């Protein structure tokens, strides 16, 4: 059940990303054209981050919480 919830959350993030990208497309292609504003850069960042995290959650599901083994080379030497 946790796996389905995490994957559904990923789908929601992908939907948010698609909506943000379409909104950004309409803003950029509006007449008259202008340079990118801070708000447009913010929308692009939200779209990119939600797409990245959403795709990761959909692909991995609950296994995103699985522990990973770190090589001796990268462990701190205390």
Question: pTM surpassing 0.85?
Answer: no
| pLDDT score of 58 | 96
Q: Which residue has the tokens 């609950």?
A: 62
The pLDDT of residue 78 is 52
| Residues in the chain where the model's pLDDT stays below 50 | none
SS (H, E, C) 2-48: HHHHHHHHHHHHHHHHHHHHHHHHHHHCCCCCCCCCHHHHHHHHHHH
């Amino acid at each position: 059940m946790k796996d389905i919830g995490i994957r559904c959350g990923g789908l929601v993030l992908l939907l948010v990303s698609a909506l943000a990208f379409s909104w950004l497309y309409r803003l950029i292609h509006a007449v008259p054209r202008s340079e990118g504003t801070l708000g447009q850069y913010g929308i692009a960042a939200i779209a990119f981050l939600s797409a990245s995290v959403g795709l990761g959650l959909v692909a991995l599901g609950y296994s995103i919480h699985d522990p990973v083994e770190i090589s001796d080379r990268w462990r701190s030497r205390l």
